[in-house]
Structures are given as structure tokens and as C-alpha cells.
Chain A
Amino acid sequence: MAEKVLSWVDERLGLTGVYNLIFDRKVPKVNWWFTLGSATLFLFFLQIVTGVFLTVYYVPSPDHAYDSIQYIMNGVTFGWLIRGIHHWGASLMVVFVFAHMLRTFFMAAYKFPREITWFTGVFLLLSTVGMGFTGYLLPWNQRAYWATTVGTEIAGTMPLVGGFIERVLRGGNDLSAVTLARFFAVHIWFFPAIIAGLLAIHLYLVIRIGISAPPKRDE
């Protein structure tokens, strides 16, 4: 019976084909270094889920940001767990993305025909770091405040356009409620959307071209 229902559905959705294409791909004999991309993908999903849950209680306003996080940590059931996973997952994701890049570089996997995969990867790395930078301000504690003061100040040292970029990042001359609101918006909407789009291209290319074999010793 279940078999019948499944085949009825599959006849219409054709998911078996999609499944085979994604999971039954031919891959060369590889090692554990080749799991870093999947690990990063898993961490990205983990960040999405825990991040969505955090927005249930977090309020991006100078009046409430700090207190709402105190509430998540001390008042909400398992709030410490959700935030803890988001916190450590963020650091881990940067580490994994970076290790993934190093592996690709040292195994020369970025070469023809995988240049576009590499390009999207570069922007995925930058977006991940951007997620880290924007997320760092959201707790609105001393560390967050001064890290963002310094971070935006660094952008301000750029010749000619520095001052303008700094004001765009801060939403004015000072670190304020405007800064917190725009960092929050960029953190939960802009960057996730950019990452999702780049990720789609990245994974499409991985499936279309296939992954490269580790280079041989005499190559």
C-alpha cells in the first residue's frame, strides 16, 4: 500500500530522479578533507534553524537587545542551548568554510572547469564573514559595541570613500539604534538571501561538473 502511494507520488513529482542525481553521483576516491563542504552546508542549515528560533525572542533595539538575550539565556526553556548552538556554530562555520577553501586550493580543485564554483565560493566565504561581523553586534554588550566601533572605523580608513562607507555601515555618524537595526536586517535577510543564491549556483556546479579527484603525486 505504502509502496503504491509512494510510486503514485513519484510518478508525478519525479523525485527519484532528483534523488539519484544528487546522492547517487559518481565520485572519485576521496578522503575526509572532501567532507568540509557538506559540513559547512550542515552548519549553515543549523544556523538558519537556530537563528529563526532566536528571532522569536530577540528584539533588535538598544532598549531591548541585551535584556532580551538575557531572557533567552536565563528565562526561556532551552534558550541557552539554542543560542549556544548559534554562537558556536557561527565560529565553526567560519573555520569550516576556510578549511574548505584551503583544501580546494591545495588540491588545485579550483582549476578548469571549476572556476565559477571557486568564484561563488569566494563570495560565500565573504558572506559568511559578513554574517559573523553583523551578528557580532546583535548582543549589544560592551564587546559587541566596541567591536563594531572598531570594525566600522576600519572601513572608514579607506581613502576618499572611507568616511562615506563608515556612515553607510553605521547609518549615520554614530553607532546607534539605526546601526543595530540595519545590522540585524543584513544579518537575517540580506546575507542569508545572498548565501542561498550563491549556494544554489555552487551546488548546481558541484553536481553538474562533479568533484575533482585528489591530484596524483607525479602531476
Chain B
Amino acid sequence: MSDTHSVERRDFVKIVLAFLGTVMGALIGLPAIGYLVSPATKSRQSEAWVPVGLLENYPVGVPTLFSFTRTTVNGWEKTVNSFGAYVVRSENGEAKVFSNKCTHLSCRVTWKEDAEAYLCPCHDAHFAKDGAVISGPPPEPLQAYETKIEDGNLLIHVTEG
């Protein structure tokens, strides 16, 4: 073996094979991964101002549930998601509106008049009328929607779904 052969034939073949194998593996593997994760890369959120009705129709100081749906497209199908918002009208003509989605793991909370709290059935979380956590595992208060009033109509700013 002369000194001009700095790379042995055997090693050269090995290196070329490893290189081609990597290229081919990537050519097959990357599209496969792209195929599997594809829906996750295409999910979109759209925001909207959702009208929840005349403010004067809501009782003062009593959290009242307003239900609405939003439609998105998942894959080839329309998905209709249900949402719930608790409207709490105050005496000064304003309103606080809370999402009924528990901040722990997204179960839906219900206002219980006798307990003076929103209760979550999944892990027994309690939220106060103003959304603050009273007890249970939730890491933060109920989400309050941004609100505005137009001609007596209450609208909430929904950013999910």
C-alpha cells in the first residue's frame, strides 16, 4: 500500500455508503414526519367580537350563562365547538364576562348560587364570582373576556376557536 492512498478503498466505500444512506433516510424520513405532523402545522385561530345580547336583559349581580358556538375546519370536516360565557352585570351599567372554561384542565365550570361560586366538576375547583380561585388546583382565575357595549348590546372578544 503506497503512501498516496490516504483513504483506504474499504473506508471510502463505508463513508460513501453512510452518506448515501443518510441522504436516502432523510428523503424518506422527513416527508414521513411532515405527513404525520401536518395538521398541527395548519391549525389556525380566528378572533371575533361575539354579541351576547342586550345588557339590560341580564340580571344584576347574578352570573348568567350565555352559550355560543364557533365553527372551524379540521382536516376535511367542519368542527362546531361550544363555548359558554358567564355574564355578570354590575349596577353601574357595566359587565364582566368570564369564560366557563376551567383554567386547570379545561372542564366547564357551573355557577352555583347556594355555594356562591363557580364549581368545576372534574377536580372540585371553586372560583369566586369575580373569577378568582377560591380552592382547588387551577393555577389562575377564570379568563375574563374583553367587552364592549354598542347600542346597549354587549359584545365579547373571543380569540379561541
Residues of A within 8 A of B31 (CB): 77-78, 81-82
How far apart sit A71 and B78, CA to CA, in the bound complex (Å)? 13
Q: Number of contacting residues on A, CB 8 A?
A: 15
Could you tell me the distance in whole angstroms from the C-beta of A54 to the nearest C-beta in chain B? Answer: 10
Could you tell me the distance in whole angstroms from the C-beta of A85 to the nearest C-beta in chain B? Answer: 10
Interface string of A44-60 (1 = CB under 8 A from B): 00000000010011000
Tally inter-chain residue pairs, CB-CB below 8 A. 40
Residues of A within 8 A of B77 (CB): 64, 67
Residues of B within 8 A of A67 (CB): 76-77
How far apart sit A78 and B36, CA to CA, in the bound complex (Å)? 9
How far apart sit A67 and B77, CA to CA, in the bound complex (Å)? 8
If A75-B42, A77-B41 touch, does A53 touch B35 (CB 8 Å cutoff)? yes
Contact present for B75 and A78 (CB under 8 Å): no
Contact present for B75 and A82 (CB under 8 Å): no
- Sorting the interface of chain B by its residue count into under 10, 10 to 19, 20 to 34 or 35 or more gives 10 to 19
| Residue B32 CB within 8 A of the other chain | yes
Contact present for B76 and A77 (CB under 8 Å): no
Residues of A within 8 A of B139 (CB): none
| Residue B39 CB within 8 A of the other chain | yes
Contact present for A71 and B36 (CB under 8 Å): no
| Residue B34 CB within 8 A of the other chain | yes
| Residue A79 CB within 8 A of the other chain | yes
Contact present for B76 and A78 (CB under 8 Å): no
Interface string of B22-62 (1 = CB under 8 A from A): 00000000011011111101100000000000000000000
Contact present for A77 and B75 (CB under 8 Å): no
| Residue A206 CB within 8 A of the other chain | no
How far apart sit A125 and B35, CA to CA, in the bound complex (Å)? 31
| Residue A9 CB within 8 A of the other chain | no
Q: Which residue of the partner chain B has the closest CB to A76?
A: B38
How far apart sit A81 and B29, CA to CA, in the bound complex (Å)? 13
Residues of B within 8 A of A (CB): 31-32, 34-39, 41-42, 75-77
Residues of A within 8 A of B (CB): 53, 56-57, 64, 67-68, 70-71, 75-79, 81-82
18 A-B residue contacts at CB 8 Å? A53-B35, A56-B35, A56-B36, A57-B75, A64-B77, A67-B76, A67-B77, A68-B76, A71-B76, A75-B42, A75-B75, A76-B38, A77-B31, A77-B34, A77-B41, A78-B38, A79-B35, A82-B35
Of all A-B residue pairs in the complex, the 4 with the closest CB atoms, nearest first, are A78-B31, A67-B76, A77-B34, A71-B76
